[in-house]
Structure 1
Amino acid sequence: MHLGATLRLLRVDAGLSLRDLARRIGVSSAYLSRVENGVDAPPTVERLTAIARELDVPPALLMDVANRVSPYVAEYLEDVPGSGTLFLELARRRLTGAQLARVREFLDAEFPVRGGHGDGPVPALAPLVAPERVVLQVSCGGWEDLLDVVAGRLAAALPGVDTARLVEGLSQLDDLSSCSVGGGVAVPHVFLPGVPSVVALVTLAKGLKVDTPDGRPLRLVVAAVDGERGRARLIRMAHVARLAARGLAERLDEARQPSQVLAALEELEALR
């Protein structure tokens, strides 16, 4: 997964220049640029945590995208060596996301966190994706055609907002920073003051060859309209990037009904 594309997308949407973010986390803008462009390896856990704090998103989200182990996990494994056996048992049983969520419910009830680490739950994506805004196995000649499809579904949920206005907004933001986060997934988004947050999801019958950070054809678009800027919007984009890293495009490529898409999303999001 290409962490750099996600960092650039979040940084631009947060209104931070490359120089501003680099200064805040104590690195050079040249270094940060290399990370965003995939030239350098993903930052250390410490730097990822610093970046997340400046962007106001949970550090665990960026660590998941980068396939980094949280320092809390590493510290716990070192302090309680026997805990590794439990992780092994979870792996042996091949628990699904929904089953792991049940395990966490038990932990929350029996062993609640008191003053521990964490940033709270990440809001789920599935409730913002209504069945009528799920379009499956679309054939598109190019990115512009795909934006027309996405904008049409979003506009239908927003009285008074026309498709052309949405296409223009989605295109302008993509010009500032590519909305592809790798893994065959793109997250075009637009800000329209005062409207409710809605999401449309489109899968492609054939991968679209556009500029992506990891070179993989585009297979899935998760497009959003938001009436407010800020933390919730950034967290959602980072969350979609995390889902992309977990194989979201592949999972939804098999769906043939909107209900299957929503069920797959709910399972993937059972642990957030």
Structure 2
Amino acid sequence: MPATSDAESASRARALAEFGAALRLLRVEAGLSLRALAHRIGVSSAYLSRVEHGHDAIPTPDRLTAIASALDLPPAVLLELGHQVEPLVSRYLERVPAANALFVELARRNLSGPQLARIKAFIDAEFPVSAPFGVSSARRLSGLLTPERIVLHLSCAHIEDVIDVAASRLAPPGGALAASALAQEILRRERESSTALGNGVAVPHAIVPGACPAAVLATLAEPLAVPTPGGAPLRLFVVLVCGEGGRAHLELLAQVARLASHNAADALCAARDPEQLIEQLSQIEAGCG
């Protein structure tokens, strides 16, 4: 029994650290100081700092919704990252008991992610809402990837090596920004604050004025043992370039954070070729909602 308790405690500590890292990443990229975000949601900056460092519990669904609003993100992003969707659904089922039957029917049919996406599309069309709850499908990571921008089983010794390879795929030939300059810009941002998210995933990125959103996804032949929020070595990198900050940029970062929180690295690292990886990623994204 004590071993189980220790394992549960360690798992909870990892979850808190990984959520805190994702929240800190999104806050920094939104251009908000710790004090500014704390003021907007009506909490102390000391409390928010404890959350970002994994020393305090993940906020309640209502507080996560408030944080999402302050960051200009759809509420579902933080609710999923914080694994707080279940309490939200439970409250809905208490208010509308008839919804239980619908969930039972969904479970009986064992619907896949793409099948659930079709149901969601019908609901969105039939019962539109004024503000989106989740990330727009137009901003999904899979839409930015091509087989040429997938690097499988890369052998490297340092994060810098991954970024150099990714920059060579992202910098257009004859473009205004050479691959070496792009790599330096991504590394500059990485040195400001690590973009490791948890479960072996990192999202190095840079804002390059005028650039179209683009991504490279790289899996590693051997994990890199570097400091990470949950202690897991890095084995999957999503390197992003955007032309400007703002909501679209944040939603892309949130997409990668969701992949990390859903432990998608196992499936993506097992892909045999780039086409299979993109297909696997699309299915995971559909399952995330």
In the superposition, the TM-score normalised over structure 1's length comes to 0.92
**CA deviation after TM superposition for structure 1 residue 270, in Å:** 2.1
Identity among equivalent positions (%) equals 50
Contact 1:157 1:198 survives alignment (8 Å): no
For structure 2, the residue ranges without an aligned partner over 5 or more in a row are 1-14
1:121 aligns with 2:136: yes
Instruction: Find the aligned partners of 1:117 and 1:223 in 2 and give their Cα distance.
Output: 26
Change in 2 beyond 3 A, CA 1:246/1:40: same
1:16 aligns with 2:32: yes
Instruction: Find the aligned partners of 1:250 and 1:211 in 2 and give their Cα distance.
Output: 20
1:247 aligns with 2:263: yes
Instruction: Find the aligned partners of 2:124 and 2:85 in 1 and give their Cα distance.
Output: 22
**CA deviation after TM superposition for structure 1 residue 131, in Å:** 1.0
Change in 2 beyond 3 A, CA 1:168/1:44: same
Corresponding letter in the other structure for 1:90: L
SS at match of 1:53: helix
Q: Which residue of 2 aligns with 1:142?
A: 158
Q: Which residue of 2 aligns with 1:229?
A: 245
Contact 1:185 1:221 survives alignment (8 Å): yes
Deviation track 1:243-271 (CA, whole Å, cap 9, x = no partner) reads 22112211101101110011011112225
Instruction: Find the aligned partners of 1:129 and 1:157 in 2 and give their Cα distance.
Output: 18
1:112 aligns with 2:130: no
Instruction: Find the aligned partners of 1:139 and 1:146 in 2 and give their Cα distance.
Output: 9
Contact 1:3 1:42 survives alignment (8 Å): yes
Contact 1:136 1:257 survives alignment (8 Å): yes
Change in 2 beyond 3 A, CA 1:177/1:158: farther
Contact 1:63 1:70 survives alignment (8 Å): no
Instruction: Find the aligned partners of 2:108 and 2:34 in 1 and give their Cα distance.
Output: 44
**CA deviation after TM superposition for structure 1 residue 137, in Å:** 0.8
The alignment covers a number of residue pairs equal to 271
For structure 1, the residue ranges without an aligned partner over 5 or more in a row are none
Q: 1:181 aligns with which of 190, 194, 197?
A: 197
Instruction: Find the aligned partners of 1:223 and 1:212 in 2 and give their Cα distance.
Output: 17
Instruction: Find the aligned partners of 1:143 and 1:126 in 2 and give their Cα distance.
Output: 23
Change in 2 beyond 3 A, CA 1:119/1:146: closer
**CA deviation after TM superposition for structure 1 residue 118, in Å:** 3.1
SS at match of 1:181: strand
Deviation track 1:83-133 (CA, whole Å, cap 9, x = no partner) reads 223323323433221111122234345x42366873673521111111101
Bigger RCO (CA 8 Å, 6+ sep)? 1
Corresponding letter in the other structure for 1:235: E
Root-mean-square deviation (CA, aligned residues, Å) is: 2.1
Corresponding letter in the other structure for 1:121: S
Contact 1:147 1:167 survives alignment (8 Å): yes
Contact 1:49 1:59 survives alignment (8 Å): yes
Q: Which residue of 2 aligns with 1:198?
A: 214
Instruction: Find the aligned partners of 2:207 and 2:22 in 1 and give their Cα distance.
Output: 18
Instruction: Find the aligned partners of 2:224 and 2:161 in 1 and give their Cα distance.
Output: 11
SS at match of 1:118: coil
SS at match of 1:270: helix
Instruction: Find the aligned partners of 1:26 and 1:158 in 2 and give their Cα distance.
Output: 49
Q: Which residue of 2 aligns with 1:56?
A: 72
Instruction: Find the aligned partners of 2:29 and 2:135 in 1 and give their Cα distance.
Output: 22
In the superposition, the TM-score normalised over structure 2's length comes to 0.87
Deviation track 1:126-169 (CA, whole Å, cap 9, x = no partner) reads 11111101000111111111211121111247823212211211
